[in-house]
Amino acid sequence: MPYATLAKAIAEFARSKRIEKRLREADLFRRWPEIVGERIANRAKPVQLHRGRLVVECSDAVWRAELQFHKPELLERIHGAVGEGIVKEIFLK
């Protein structure tokens, strides 16, 4: 058996146990400030992810309206960070 890096071994284990998707979902919450930027992260927090629908709680109506306008860009950033298929829709509240 060829030697593999620890990262490759963990990735293979994750795929074999079908937990890779869950790990990417958790990564989204952990990396939120990095993905959307500190300015947005200080005013909007991901609170739930269910069946591809990410619920983001905004600090106020002004930020909710601003982020509504930027949904396509946010979705693109999320896809770039954790892959497509994890988040299909963003709901702002």
Buried b or exposed e, range 63-79, using 16+ CB within 10 angstroms: bbeebeeeeeebbebbe
Give the number of other Cβ atoms within 10 Å of residue 51's Cβ: 6
Q: Is residue 2's pLDDT more than 70? A: no
3-state SS, residue 63: helix
Read off the pTM: 0.78
* 7 within domain boundaries: no
- pLDDT surpassing 50 at residue 1: no
Q: Is residue 30 part of a domain?
A: yes
CATH number (domain holding residue 77): 3.30.300
- How far, in Å, CA of 48 to CA of 56, rounded? 7
Q: How many domains does the chain have?
A: 1
Q: What would the pLDDT profile of 44-69 be if each residue is shown by its tens digit? A: 999 999 999 999 999 999 999 999 99
The pLDDT confidence band at residue 4, using thresholds 50, 70 and 90, is low
pLDDT given at position 23: 83
> Residue 51: left if φ>0, alpha if ψ -120 to 50, beta else—which one?
left
Structural domain harbouring 46: 21-92
